[in-house]
């Protein structure tokens, strides 16, 4: 199968290109990891500068937490509140960085406002399932999109997550979103059993086989806390680093993380392991 490359505001993602690091800015006070929340322009500029210095490749901005309500008790945020948070801060972010900026939202109204301000990517954790207008907006505005596995309460197995991603790809293609505009995300977390999250990381090559760049977002998530008995997300950095290395070794092209410097280091280890594995497979096939 052909492996597609995606261009995000001049940043190439996919096979043949380096691992890319997506850093996180949360404008939502209800976000599960409190240290990722930014609430004023002075802090925004400081955080952006730090991300650039640490080696981020893209900045992902969210105005409403997508953390599962069943795990973190995340409150519902109105579209008006999300729009206000995004529009009042996004211009400052775009103005103060040369990096591509992504908008993390499931709402077409928010995505459209963000595209107008200058974002280069839509990160839709619903995989085009929660807003009927989102797919057409992305197609019409010709921006790339991240399609995450989102099959609700039935998303309790690796197979269900895989089928969900395939359905989202089909939806995207049906409205005219090109193959080379699609990034996929297997959807680690979001209320799945912890063992399923580990299985997804182990079997990441199944998602890579679909031919699209694969984004993995596992930073400080509950499955790490469950394994290590760390209910506080601020404790989960070491586990995040370990899981990140394995995810990259198994094929991730893009890592979404709260900790840029550590994520980059973990990614280098994972890429080295992936190269060694590829060399080993090449030797075995030649023998």
- Give the CATH class of 6-286: alpha beta
Report the candidate in 203, 243, 187, 186 with the shortest Cα–Cα distance to residue 220. Answer: 243
Q: Tell me how far apart the alpha carbons of residues 104 and 107 are, in angstroms, rounded to a whole number.
A: 9
Task: Check residue 233 and give its pLDDT.
Answer: 93
The pLDDT-based confidence of 156 (bands split at 50, 70, 90) is: confident
Task: Check residue 15 and give its pLDDT.
Answer: 87
- Whether residue 44 is predicted with pLDDT greater than 80 in this model: the reply is yes
Task: Check residue 51 and give its pLDDT.
Answer: 96
| Domain residue limits, the chain | 6-286
% residues pLDDT > 90 (the chain): 77
Burial grade of 179 (CB within 10 A; 0-12, 13-18, 19 or more):
middle
Task: Check residue 2 and give its pLDDT.
Answer: 79
Task: Check residue 77 and give its pLDDT.
Answer: 84
pLDDT digits (tens, 9 = 90+) for 122-143: 999 999 999 989 999 999 999 9
Q: For residues 256 and 244, is the Cβ–Cβ distance under 8 A?
A: no
Is the pTM higher than 0.85? The answer reads: yes
Q: For residues 60 and 102, is the Cβ–Cβ distance under 8 A?
A: yes
Across 90-99, 189-198, 258-267, 272-281, least confident range: 272-281
Which residues are tagged catalytic?
Answer: 221, 256
């Amino acid at each position: 199968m052909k492996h597609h490359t995606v261009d995000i505001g001049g940043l190439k993602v996919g096979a043949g290109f380096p691992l890319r690091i997506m850093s996180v800015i949360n404008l939502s006070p209800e976000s599960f990891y409190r240290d990722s929340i930014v609430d004023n322009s002075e802090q925004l500029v400081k955080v952006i500068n730090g991300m650039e210095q640490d080696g981020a490749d893209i900045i992902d901005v969210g105005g409403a937490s997508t953390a599962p309500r069943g795990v973190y008790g995340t409150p519902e945020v109105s579209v008006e509140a999300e729009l206000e948070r995004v529009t009042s801060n996004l211009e400052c972010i775009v103005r103060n960085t040369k990096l591509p900026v992504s908008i993390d939202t499931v709402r077409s109204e928010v995505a459209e406002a963000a595209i107008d301000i200058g974002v280069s990517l839509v990160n839709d954790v619903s995989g085009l399932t929660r807003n009927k207008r989102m797919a057409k907006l992305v197609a019409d505005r010709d921006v790339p999109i991240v399609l995450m596995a989102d099959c609700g309460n039935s998303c309790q197995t690796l197979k269900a997550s895989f089928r969900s991603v395939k359905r989202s790809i089909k939806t995207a293609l049906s409205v005219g979103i090109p193959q080379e505009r699609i990034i996929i995300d297997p959807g680690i977390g979001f209320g799945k059993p912890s063992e399923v999250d580990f299985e997804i990381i182990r079997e990441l090559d199944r998602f890579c086989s679909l031919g699209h760049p694969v984004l993995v977002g596992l930073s400080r998530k509950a499955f790490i806390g469950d394994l290590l008995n760390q209910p506080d997300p601020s404790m989960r950095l070491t586990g995040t680093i370990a899981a990140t290395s394995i995810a990259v070794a198994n094929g991730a092209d893009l890592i979404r993380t709260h900790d840029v410097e550590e994520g980059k280091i973990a990614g280098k280890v994972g890429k080295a392991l992936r190269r060694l594995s590829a060399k080993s497979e090449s030797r075995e096939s030649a023998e």
